[in-house]
Structure 1
Amino acid sequence: IAGVPVCLQVTPSVYTQEMLQSTEERLANSNEVQPPRILELLDMSMTTHHKLSLVDMDQPLFQPFPSELVFQNFTPTQTYKLPLLLLNNDKVSRQVKVEQQDSEYFHVVGPEDAGSKVAPGLSATFTVYFTPQENKDYHHSLVCVTERERFEVPICAIGPRAILDFRDEFHLPVCPVKTSTQRTHLVRNIGNSEAKFTLSTQRPFSVTPSAGTLEVGEGMQVTVDFNPMTIGDHSQDLLLHYHTGEDVYIGLYGACEEVNIQLDHDFVLLQKTYVSLASVHTVSLINSSGIPLKYCWTTWPSLQEEALSLLRFKEEEEEETERLLYQCESDPTEIHRLPLLSRALQELRSQAVKDHLLALSHSCITVEPAEGEIWPNMTAQFSIVFKPEEAKVYQQTIYCDVAGRESRLPLTIKGEGLGPKLQLNYDLMDMKNIFIGDKDNYEVRLVNSDTTFGRCFSFSPEEGVVPSGASQIVMVTFHSRVLGTFSEDLLLTVTGQPQPLTLTFRGCVIGPTFHFNISEFNFGDVAFGFPQTLICTLFNTSFVPMTFALRVPGDGSGFHSMTCSNWQGSNTRDLRANPAEFTISPTAGSVRAMSDVTIKLMLCSNTVKRYRLALVVDVEGVGEEIMTVPINAR
């Protein structure tokens, strides 16, 4: 507003008072003096002999009053006048004059003794005449010249102005925290011009409407809302900005307090619940106030953490958008994905907020209803539904964000999930000696381990469902092609139980057991070149078939020696060196479980000597020289 220091915030009453004053009243109420703006410093040696002055260089030798000449509430074609006093601030007499500026609206008339010096502490009076042609704003300035400087005095003619009759302060009713109160005021335009204005303020206050237009004499309702999030006294300014440039400040004041609303418990121990079943516990929210209050359950402990969480999500969204824009620069065909991305991210943000408001961080514990409104002096009941997914202890703190309370009400929930109670009919199976290749079956439900012997186990069925109070038989088959001692922990995994049941199988995989019905092959004295045969029986005393091979180590490796008839008719020089002298029938074969086979061993001696050899038995899958039977002959 013209003539009002910038540092002051003008209230509606001050603005109205100043706008309704006449020019003379405005001058009469002007008490403050501001130093003028110095345009130029002059050389005092050219204008006076008194070069020294007690007035600082940033201050003019003459102080104008008023600091700004303001004409207002004028009528076109009429002439108005204001005096301009220039007070000598120095301790010596000084000269001052006013330069005439070209203007058809403003005219300055000096004193009769213009050009003479003004004594210290006295003033020279000039008269400024203003003759407007239109009802509008005018701006002009007067340039005053002293012996040391040139400075200006602004002139402002204020044309028609709108004046909205706001009160200086709005005191809103006491408001419970996180609720709202409001106050409505009928505002009229009591000025002499159309009012185009905007209204703005800051939280926890808001105003409706935020802008408007009022003709002279018209009125409208303006509503101020008070929605505090913290207790205590609150104040803000409501800024009324006119389209003509003036700003008017209205004080807004409100007090916020908490009401009596609380949970009946802040800790709930839920009943132990089996996996796949559900238990329900009830908690109460008691509203002892006289107003209805809204509530919602959330996992965010405070509004600040909620805002930070959403801010982080927004930052991730912006990073994803920047990444896609970078891709579009290198590949323009990607540009079609931008609308899809924006829509997807918006849905994700909305879903993220909804998930926090309506449920807990995991689905095992939920609160129903998740949000709503509780009426005055009433109690709201909430069902806490516990559906454990595993056999473990669950603990979660959730928060009831309820109007009337600044901090969110915490509720710690603890519950234990129980897994199925399954029991093995034994936890140790000593399989003792097991024949290699044999299949042994056991009735349990297990999971094999990835070891040498662990891979020898198989199960039927591998998985299933055991009804309550029932049992399940599972066939465990062990089939090993490897010899050795073993101890394997097989695991029974049960859905809902963190730790599996363990059944230990141990034993020793052995080769087939067998024996001969003789302890040695004793040929006694045999004739040179004449074959002799002994017969024995090989018994398989195991429950698995046995594949064998028979040989006589140390026997010749050439052709077999001839029989007696053809040996006599041949020349001894034709005999091969080191001929084979033993013949085994059969040399290899398979004996069924708990069966026997006849073995024939023939000796056709080709050497005069004593024989001390052995018949060796190799067993397939077990090893060589598993058994030896001595052979004696002379």
Structure 2
Amino acid sequence: MLTSKVQASQSTLQNLPLKMPDGFKTTVIAPRNPKLVKREDKAKKLTPSVYAQELSQTTEERLANTYETHPPRILELLDMSETTHHKFSTVDVDQPFFQPYPSEIVFQNYMPSETYEVPLVLRNTDKIPHLVKVVEEASLYFRVVSPVDIGSKVAPGMTSTFTILFTPQENKDYIHRLICVTEREKFEVPIRAIGARAILDFPDQLHFPLCPVKCSMQKTLLVRNIGNGRAKFHPFSVEPSVGTLGIGESMQMTIEFLPRTTGDHSQQLLLHYNTGEDVYVSLYGASSDVNVRLDRNSVLLEKTYITMASERTVAILNRSDSIVHYQWKSFATQEEEEQHRFCMELQQEEADEMEQFLIECGADPNMRDRLSLLSRTFQHRRRQLRREPLLFNDKHIILEPQEGDIWPNRTAEINIIFKPQEARLYQHTVYCDVTGRESRLPLRIKAEGMGPKLQFNFDLLDVGNVFIGSKHSYEVLVSNKGLIDGPYRLEPPSTAMGLCFSFSPTEGMVPPGACHALEVRFSSDKLGTFFEEFRFTVVGNPQPLKLTFRGCVMGPTFHFSVLELNFGEVSFGFPYTLTCSLSNTSLVSMSFDLRIPADGNGADSITTTEQISQLDRNEWTAVDRVSERPQEFRVTPTSGSIRAQGQMDIKVTLCSNTVQQYSLALVVDVHGVGEEVLALPIKASCPTAPPFRPALWLTWWVSCG
């Protein structure tokens, strides 16, 4: 399109011919009193019929049917004091003194080398007269013919008419403009010449009959190009979506209506021509739910052993007159499904890959070239993820088939296969996304997996009282009451008393209907009651198999043959010996120590014989401290071991070196059990100590000898 950018001088405008050129007639008449309308920012949407009507008119017809004018665009404001003595006006400064009609000069349906004219009427909207002139940019195709009184002012409300001549060379589009100058402003009037145009005879409105929701309905139209130009179009949601149609040619177009929700639907179909025009076709349709349902809303499958499978059937009933397509989904709505689609592990995987890539780039800068390759890889994977239907997928509950078509008034049977991997309750809600129903049909599936049915011949064994260090053996039977193999394994105990138990074997496999014997050995070196629970892991069962032992570990039982050792009155310095026996009444041997805690810790007590031999000792000295008191008792033996159900003789000798009443105890310390487990009372009395005279003692000793 040719547009001249050269502005003509004022002398050139004054020398324009005032007479119309020969060869055409002036038949263009402007309508009276056109309506002034402010321009709207929002473009007017044309229907196919309006578009065809506008383009089929001649230039004269289009001008005659133009009943609205718009305020022109002001290009520049001028200083009125330089051109007129009127300094005030009733017209706002954002509006020009003259209102042009038409607001845009349009030529259409013209022939090459022919001359066409359109009058440009400029009306003075002010209350005082004003001058106006039209400045034309140089053009080979457009000329302006000024009125005879071009130099005179135009009275208020009166008009000045200019004639625009157009001589095209080709049947194509032309663009030009006129500059109108008054004492206060310059404004423009655009000129547009519309060349050959294609016109496709689309209907203004297209109504689709009532159809099932989510079902596709199509309408095929035979579209002809009734214009005078070749059509290149791009309609939305139409097959074909892009095409070319020559003058007078026709083609079939298919428009598809696919409602996602029930109710009335309306939309505008955009038909975009390559010449820039947009034409809108109004589409209307309605959709509703049809009679498609499940024969049941919930399914309870039989209890099934792991590694085995069970099966039930559910039916989809199509009682409509349409073919419906179904898919089993994991989500109740399309929105939840899309949200899950973009929250899958791909995002985290991409972040991990990018982090690893940045670490590698830090070590090797040459690897940065691989960044674009990594990005393209994940973009490709995202596109694949968007195309995936995201059907219901579970390794324990399987639906077959997962999707398919159902013919009108037919039924589709769906097999629900249950393959449990562990013994627990399985509950799922799956959704049947079927065309003809807006909401997905829920199906609740409940099933229970069973593991091996192993059981012991007892759950709790009370072993009673057992002696410390004694060895015990018990037999436990584990039987399989189920229909599958039962592998088991003992979980290692962690308590101190639990470590005193040993099982043989610790793991095994019990076939269906069989029984295995476990040997349990127990020996403890610790006293006290115990309640030990042992757990056996059974493959396939979330809960372990439990076996409990309880009892009490006690020390060996023993006693002395006498209730007490009573020495009575003893003489000072003369040893006395009493004998008793210690009996072990338990079934285990007993190691012991014997001691008298209240006896002195000093040197052994001295007998009279030793006193005579120590002539330098002239007196007996009383000592209060235990550590310095003589050790007056001697126990034989002081330690030993008694076999089970055995006994040992014990001798206790007292050689008193202290005048006192004796009330002590012989205590027994048992190895591995404790100290002072048993005490035997000891009583004695040493009333007085004889005076020490060596000669007298010697005479007495000789006479007695």
TM-score by length of 2: 0.73
Distance change (3 Å), C-alpha of 1:142 and 1:561: closer
Q: Deviations over 1:63-116 (max 9, x none)?
A: 322222222343444332222223344566654432343333221112233334
Given candidates 285, 288, 295, the residue that maps to 1:254 is 285
**Match in the other structure for 1:358:** 392
**Match in the other structure for 1:35:** 71
Tell me the distance in 1 between the aligned counterparts of 2:95 and 2:346.
Answer: 55
Cα deviation for residue 419 of structure 1 reads 6.3
Q: Deviations over 1:504-546 (max 9, x none)?
A: 5443321111234455567789999898877655432212221
Distance change (3 Å), C-alpha of 1:604 and 1:393: closer
Tell me the distance in 2 between the aligned counterparts of 1:267 and 1:223.
Answer: 42
**Match in the other structure for 1:101:** 137
The more displaced of 516-525 and 277-286 is 516-525
Tell me the distance in 2 between the aligned counterparts of 1:427 and 1:211.
Answer: 80
**Match in the other structure for 1:623:** 674
1:433 equivalent in alignment to 2:465: yes
What amino acid maps onto 1:628 in structure 2?
A
SS in 2 for 1:438: coil
Tell me the distance in 2 between the aligned counterparts of 1:422 and 1:64.
Answer: 102
1:408 equivalent in alignment to 2:459: no
Contact 1:584 1:599 in 2 (8 A): no
Tell me the distance in 2 between the aligned counterparts of 1:353 and 1:437.
Answer: 73
SS in 1 for 2:68: coil
Cα deviation for residue 622 of structure 1 reads 1.1
Q: Deviations over 1:141-161 (max 9, x none)?
A: 222334554332211123344
Structure (1 or 2) with the larger CA radius of gyration: 2
Contact 1:229 1:406 in 2 (8 A): yes
**Match in the other structure for 2:165:** 129
Tell me the distance in 2 between the aligned counterparts of 1:548 and 1:511.
Answer: 12
SS in 2 for 1:357: coil
**Match in the other structure for 2:6:** none
Pairs within 5 Å for 1:372-451:
372-388=404-420, 393-417=425-449, 424-444=456-476, 451=495
Cα deviation for residue 263 of structure 1 reads 0.7
Given candidates 541, 544, 547, the residue that maps to 2:591 is 547
**C-alpha RMSD over aligned residues:** 4.5
Given candidates 98, 101, 110, the residue that maps to 1:74 is 110
**Match in the other structure for 2:174:** 138
Q: Deviations over 1:457-499 (max 9, x none)?
A: 4444445555555444444444332223344555676666666
Contact 1:358 1:371 in 2 (8 A): no
What amino acid maps onto 2:391 in structure 1?
L
Gaps of 5+ in 2: 1-38, 479-489, 621-627, 687-705
What amino acid maps onto 1:98 in structure 2?
V
1:263 equivalent in alignment to 2:314: no
Given candidates 78, 98, 101, the residue that maps to 1:65 is 101
Tell me the distance in 2 between the aligned counterparts of 1:480 and 1:348.
Answer: 65
Tell me the distance in 2 between the aligned counterparts of 1:47 and 1:553.
Answer: 140
**Match in the other structure for 1:229:** 260
Q: Deviations over 1:360-411 (max 9, x none)?
A: 5xx5444332222222221111223344566655443221111111110112
What amino acid maps onto 1:177 in structure 2?
V
**Match in the other structure for 2:643:** 592
Tell me the distance in 2 between the aligned counterparts of 1:93 and 1:608.
Answer: 156
Count of residue pairs the alignment pairs up:
622
1:303 equivalent in alignment to 2:347: no
Given candidates 529, 542, 547, the residue that maps to 1:485 is 529
Distance change (3 Å), C-alpha of 1:213 and 1:341: closer
Tell me the distance in 2 between the aligned counterparts of 1:68 and 1:623.
Answer: 120
The more displaced of 106-115 and 521-530 is 521-530
What amino acid maps onto 2:672 in structure 1?
G
The more displaced of 23-32 and 346-355 is 346-355
Tell me the distance in 1 between the aligned counterparts of 2:343 and 2:593.
Answer: 78
SS in 1 for 2:469: coil
Contact 2:198 2:225 in 1 (8 A): yes
The more displaced of 332-341 and 468-477 is 332-341
Q: Deviations over 1:112-169 (max 9, x none)?
A: 3333454555533322112334454322222233455433221112334444444444
**Match in the other structure for 2:651:** 601
What amino acid maps onto 1:9 in structure 2?
K
Q: Deviations over 1:534-566 (max 9, x none)?
A: 7655432212221112234455656768999x9
SS in 2 for 1:512: coil
Q: Deviations over 1:253-298 (max 9, x none)?
A: 3332322211111233334445665433221101122332221112
What amino acid maps onto 2:595 in structure 1?
R
1:243 equivalent in alignment to 2:274: yes
Given candidates 30, 50, 62, the residue that maps to 1:26 is 62
Contact 1:287 1:374 in 2 (8 A): yes
What amino acid maps onto 1:253 in structure 2?
Y
Distance change (3 Å), C-alpha of 1:239 and 1:572: farther
Contact 1:364 1:387 in 2 (8 A): yes
1:283 equivalent in alignment to 2:319: no
Q: Identity rate of aligned residues, in percent?
A: 55
**Match in the other structure for 2:625:** none
Cα deviation for residue 209 of structure 1 reads 3.7
Given candidates 556, 568, 581, the residue that maps to 1:512 is 556
Cα deviation for residue 247 of structure 1 reads 2.2
**Match in the other structure for 1:292:** 323
Contact 1:93 1:120 in 2 (8 A): yes
Contact 2:611 2:617 in 1 (8 A): no
Tell me the distance in 1 between the aligned counterparts of 2:577 and 2:265.
Answer: 123
Q: Deviations over 1:274-333 (max 9, x none)?
A: 566543322110112233222111221111222232344499559837973995698365
Tell me the distance in 1 between the aligned counterparts of 2:361 and 2:177.
Answer: 61
Pairs within 5 Å for 1:324-339:
324=355, 327=358, 331=362, 333=364
Distance change (3 Å), C-alpha of 1:603 and 1:147: closer
Distance change (3 Å), C-alpha of 1:520 and 1:125: closer
Tell me the distance in 1 between the aligned counterparts of 2:639 and 2:379.
Answer: 77
What amino acid maps onto 2:279 in structure 1?
V
**Match in the other structure for 2:33:** none
Distance change (3 Å), C-alpha of 1:394 and 1:211: same
TM-score by length of 1: 0.81
The more displaced of 210-219 and 522-531 is 522-531
Contact 1:563 1:604 in 2 (8 A): no
Distance change (3 Å), C-alpha of 1:467 and 1:227: same
Q: Deviations over 1:206-239 (max 9, x none)?
A: 2334434455566555433222211223232232
Distance change (3 Å), C-alpha of 1:527 and 1:69: closer
